[in-house]
């Protein structure tokens, strides 16, 4: 499935502030939340609605509603937690799972240390959250873990992505849709996204 890059003046404006090294922790978190909300709206374009009947202050009417119980958000710890508030504001009753990974600074490969998802995860559409899609290693491992639990429909939401990471994920998991706010130029020799925005986890949590 093709990667969807959000093209919108508001997104470009917010990304410009997000990327700036002078942007503080509070504003950085707020921008991650806002952009994540926009990404979730785009990712839900194909959502299936169910028939329902409600009563307005004027009369009863037939309408359609989303069965929020059919969805789960799974942030990749720790940076993915910064996106959670934004997507929860769109689907507040979705279930939440967690995947813990860190990057080995020698091999640049992801190391898994935590995996916990809600019961019945295989019956839900799962949306993985991670601000950065760099080498693609963490994304592929997260998708592998979820598929091993029987999950059939997976989407991946990120703020920025490198072409190298997108290519790897699309080759390994062509059935997974990727939604990002911007596709950047490349990875540098340390496997960081260029121009990027630095370490998203450190900037979200103020740890550097």
Considering the chain, what is the average pLDDT of its residues? 93
pLDDT of residue 198: 87
Least confident residue range of 85-89, 91-95, 148-152, 200-204: 200-204
Express each pLDDT in 146-162 by its tens digit.
Answer: 999 999 999 999 999 99
Task: Report CA 175 to chain centroid distance, whole Å.
Answer: 16
Residue found by looking up tokens 């939401």 in the block: 157
pLDDT at 106 over 80: no
pLDDT of residue 132: 95
- By the 8 A CB rule, do 96 and 72 touch? yes
Return d(Cα 92, Cα 13) in angstroms, integer: 27
Confidence of residue 113 (pLDDT cuts 50, 70, 90): confident
For residue 86, the surrounding DSSP H or E stretch is helix 81-88
Which CATH number does 4-205 carry?
Answer: 3.40.50.2020
Confidence of residue 206 (pLDDT cuts 50, 70, 90): confident
The domain spans of the chain are 4-205
Q: What pTM value is reported for the model?
A: 0.91
- By the 8 A CB rule, do 19 and 200 touch? no
pLDDT of residue 96: 96
Express each pLDDT in 15-74 by its tens digit.
Answer: 999 999 999 999 999 999 999 999 999 999 999 999 999 999 999 999 999 999 999 999
- By the 8 A CB rule, do 142 and 170 touch? no
Residue 194 CB coordination number (10 Å): 10
| Secondary structure percentages of the chain, helix, strand, coil, to 5 | 35, 30, 35
Return d(Cα 134, Cα 196) in angstroms, integer: 10
Kindly report the backbone phi and psi dihedral angles of residue 184, in degrees, each rounded to the nearest multiple of 5, phi listed first.
-85, -175
Confidence of residue 101 (pLDDT cuts 50, 70, 90): confident
Express each pLDDT in 157-182 by its tens digit.
Answer: 999 999 999 999 999 999 999 999 99
Query: Which candidate, 177, 168, 167, 166, places its Cα nearest to that of 133?
Result: 166
Return d(Cα 109, Cα 168) in angstroms, integer: 13
pLDDT of residue 2: 76
Confidence of residue 202 (pLDDT cuts 50, 70, 90): confident
Q: Which residues are catalytic?
A: 103, 107, 199, 202
pLDDT of residue 155: 97
3-state secondary structure of 49: strand
Those residues with Cβ within 8 angstroms of residue 19's Cβ, 6 or more apart along the chain or in another chain: 195, 196, 197
Return d(Cα 68, Cα 196) in angstroms, integer: 33
Return d(Cα 129, Cα 59) in angstroms, integer: 40
Return d(Cα 1, Cα 15) in angstroms, integer: 25
């Amino acid at each position: 499935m093709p990667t969807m890059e959000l093209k919108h003046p508001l997104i470009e404006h917010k990304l410009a502030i997000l990327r700036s090294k002078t942007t503080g922790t509070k504003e950085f978190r707020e921008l991650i939340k806002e952009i994540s909300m926009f990404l979730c709206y785009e990712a839900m374009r194909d959502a299936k609605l169910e028939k329902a009947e409600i009563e307005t202050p004027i009369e009863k009417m037939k309408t359609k509603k989303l069965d929020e119980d059919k969805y789960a958000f799974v942030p990749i710890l720790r940076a993915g937690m910064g996106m959670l508030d934004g997507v929860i504001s769109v689907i507040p009753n979705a279930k939440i799972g967690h995947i813990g990974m860190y990057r080995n600074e020698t091999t640049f490969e992801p190391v898994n240390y935590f995996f916990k998802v809600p019961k019945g995860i295989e019956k839900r559409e799962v949306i993985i959250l991670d601000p950065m899609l760099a080498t693609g290693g963490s994304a592929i491992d997260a998708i592998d873990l979820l598929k091993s639990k029987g999950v059939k429909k997976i989407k991946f939401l990120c703020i920025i992505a490198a072409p190298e990471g997108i290519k790897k994920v699309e080759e390994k998991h062509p059935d997974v849709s990727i939604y990002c706010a911007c596709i950047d130029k490349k990875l540098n020799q340390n496997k960081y996204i260029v121009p990027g925005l630095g370490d998203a986890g450190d900037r979200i949590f103020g740890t550097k």
